Structure 1
Amino acid sequence: MNIEELKSVASAIVAKQKGVLAADESNPTIKKRFASIQVESTEENRRRYREILFTTGGIERHVGGVILFDETLRQSTRDGIPFPQLLSSRGIIPGIKVDQGAKALALHPGDKVTEGLDGLRERLAEYKQLGAQFAKWRAVIEIDERDIPSPFGIRANAHALARYAALCQEAGLVPIVEPEVLMDGAHSIERCEVVTAQALQAVFAELDAHRVLFEGMLLKPNMVIAGKKCAQQASVLEVAAATLRCLRRYVPAAVPGIVFLSGGQSAEDATDHLNAMNAMGPQPWGVSFSYGRALQAPVLAAWQGQEDNVAAAQKALLNRCHLNGLARAGKYAHTMEGAA
């Protein structure tokens, strides 16, 4: 483990006005996204779509890293340039999703645990050779108004995240640690804050026990937000305040950056919430983004699988990256949406 290299890569991903483009959708997930625009999910269509994303001019100003799926890490542009090489040549750090999905946690109804630790050390070594410099592992934490997640469900996911993170740093890869408290359901913002606090407290206790270098990792948490079915939705400022309050209590200042997931929020809401947090003044860590759908939804809508629409799709991506870059500095405003 090269400590200085880990610190350098982690800091570069969340450099000023930069964040992460999450393009690591599994094949079943991207199949659903493509189905929404009536595009067949063939390997070539997936490759072409990712190529459109990665060749968009100007995104390097606001994208410090891109998370890739295993298939994508091994693919190339039409001109034969491997995607990791293309991204690196533009100053964008390539990363890789390494978990193998969440499954039901045995004997704990309602809880899930993420699999993929078996053989991970060997896979990380291969990914490093293929050009990846960071990795990502997502823990899925279901939530209801009272009983879920269980304390053991949280502990099981925290332990798996820490084992993954330690293996990453051993291999010379920066781990992005993602404990996602889902925003599905009818729970209140107060309930989300309680569960998010429990998850973060458990995760950092396990990371510390596993000797993970905080300066050489990034955290990808959910925002503290009410469930989609909750009748009482919080304001933008309430979400920002609750999220920062929770993070300041449980995330060590040594962590260089927090890269939020969008978690099913609209593109505009995700940008609005990020902006509000950065407008509340400097925090101990960089407050940034690692958005998938919140960056890509407008791109898919513009592209529609048609080559004639590539320029419009790339313009949509550049616009969302630019707006989130502004949100990183607390300089975004809703009026900018129409201006694009």
Structure 2
Amino acid sequence: MNEKQMARMSSGKGLIAALDQSGGSTPKALKAYGIDESSYDTDEAMFTLVHEMRSRIIESPAFTSEHILGAILFEGTMEREIDGLPTVDYLWEKKGILSFLKIDKGLAEEVDGVQLLKPIPDLADLLEKANDHHIFGTKERSLIKLANREGIKAVVTQQFELAKQVSAAGLVPIIEPEVAIDSPEKEEAEAMLKAELVAHLAELEPHVKVMLKLSIPTVDNFYAELAEDPHVVRVVALSGGYSQEEANEWLSRNHQLIASFSRALSEGLRFQQSPEEFNQMLEASVLAIYQASIA
């Protein structure tokens, strides 16, 4: 990370592409792309196919720094190459796009209406590896299903403890306490979440910088206060299961959020498409999400 990269992420216009599907979500991502599970019989073959999909997205002329600030990567993507360069170096040197590494190991079982992060036993080694690969920041996802005050407090406390370790390693953590969009208590959970986030941000050392990745709130511009906090580089929005059209509609009403979409970004992309069809579909998606991000 350097001053140029920090300035780019804090004030640049654009979206963040979430390309970080890991072992549990990769089969779904491949199926949506038009590759059935019968097409591979080992994890290595599966990850090779998904890397080819991600490479096709990243190498597309539609995937440029004009509209995209960063990309969130799975560890296996970080360790592979695109066009003879390590993925992170290709993104920055050829595209001007920053890279984030998904470091969480998935979700623990639900307790108190939330799912905390599973332990990350190799965290120090993983952060060292991230630095060796020129990663800008990390991403770690928890899930909030109900407006349970104790559960939400536990989620935010765990996220900030991890964020401090990431920051100490010289990286910018994306704190992601997702509120399920189908929660029957979504608005109440968001109110509890914001209160916890404000309190924990106030306790950070002045030099610590974080990003927040949040579900698009029920009340428009509900997270504007967080975006103004001096510790917060950027507040980004996840699509959370919304279609691209729905996610863009919600996002466009929240003027200090930018997109960090996964399924909504890759919606409509298929393995069987010609290069022209693929690039046109990706360009249309990128432009629509970009417009919602800068609204």
Return the alpha-carbon distance in structure 1 between the equivalents of residues 120 and 175 of structure 2.
14
The aligned counterpart of 2:166 is 168
Q: What SS does the corresponding residue of 1:256 show, helix, strand or coil?
A: strand
> Matches of residues 259-270 of structure 1 in structure 2 within 5 Å?
259-270=236-247
Shift of 1:269: 1.3
Cα deviation, residue 266, structure 1: 0.7
Which residue matches 1:223? 216
- Give 1:320 shift: 1.3
Instruction: Look up the match of 1:66.
Output: 71
Q: In structure 2, which of residues 246, 249, 265 is the aligned counterpart of residue 272 of structure 1?
A: 249
Q: Name the counterpart of 2:148.
A: 150
Whether 1:201 aligns to 2:195 is yes
Q: For residue 326 of structure 1, what is the amino acid of its counterpart?
A: Q
Deviations 1:93-117 (A, max 9, x none): 0110011111115xx3543211234
CA 1:212–1:48 in structure 2 vs 1: closer, same or farther (change >3 Å)? farther
Distance 1:221 1:11, change over 3 A: farther
The 1:8–1:71 alpha-carbon spacing in structure 2 relative to 1, beyond 3 Å, is same
Kindly state the Cα deviation for residue 210 of structure 1 after the two structures are TM-superposed. 4.6
Name whichever of 57-66 and 83-92 sits farther off: 57-66
Q: How many residues align?
A: 284
Aligned partners of 2:215 and 2:5: how far apart in 1?
22
How far did residue 21 of structure 1 move? 0.1
Identity over the aligned pairs, expressed in percent? 23
Could you say if the C-alpha distance between residues 45 and 203 of structure 1 is closer, same or farther in structure 2, counting changes exceeding 3 Å? same
Query: Which entry has the higher C-alpha Rg, 1 or 2?
Result: 1
Aligned CA distance change for structure 1 residues 109 and 287 (closer, same or farther; 3 Å): closer
CA distance in 2, matches of 1:250, 1:82: 34
Query: Which one-letter code corresponds to 1:319 in the other structure?
Result: A
Question: In the alignment, what sits opposite 2:90?
Answer: 86
**Counterpart of 2:286?**
321
SS of aligned partner of 2:129: helix
Q: CA deviation at 1:268?
A: 0.9
CA-CA distance at 1:153 after TM superposition? 1.2
Shift in CA distance, 130/256, structure 1 to aligned 2, threshold 3 Å: closer
Counterpart contact for 2:100–2:138, Cα < 8 Å = yes
Residue of structure 1 in register with 2:8 after alignment = 12
Residue aligned with 1:17, SS: coil
Q: Counterpart amino acid of 1:88? A: W
Q: State the AA in 2 paired with 1:276.
A: R
| AA partner of residue 102 (structure 1) | L
Runs of at least 4 residues off by over 6 Å = none
Equivalent of 1:295 in 229, 245, 265: 265
> For 1:131 and 1:25, how far apart are their aligned partners in 2?
20
Tell me the distance in 1 between the aligned counterparts of 2:241 and 2:198: 25
SS of residue in 2 equivalent to 1:25: coil
8 A Cα contact 1:159 1:203, kept in partner: no
Aligned to 2:123: 120
Distance 1:45 1:122 in 2: 27
Looking at structure 2, the residues matched to 266 and 180 of structure 1 have their Cα atoms a distance apart, in angstroms, of 17
After superposition, the CA RMSD in angstroms is: 2.2
Tell me how far 1:295 sits from its aligned partner: 0.5
Task: Give the drift of 1:16.
Answer: 3.8
Instruction: Measure how far apart 1:165 and its partner are.
Output: 1.1
Q: Deviations over 1:281-316 (max 9, x none)?
A: xxxxx42110001111122xxx2x23x523322221
Per the alignment, residue 248 of structure 1 pairs with 224
Match in the other structure for 1:56: 60
CA-to-partner distance for each residue in 1:313-336, whole Å, 9 max, x for gaps? 222122211122222332xxxxxx
TM-score normalised according to structure 2 size: 0.87
Aligned with 1:224: secondary structure?
coil
Question: Which whole-Å deviations, capped at 9, do the CAs of 1:121-168 have from their partners, x for residues lacking one?
Answer: 33111111112111111111112xxxxx43221121111110121111
Q: Is the 8 A contact 2:144 2:180 kept in 1?
A: yes
Cα drift, residue 213 of structure 1: 4.4
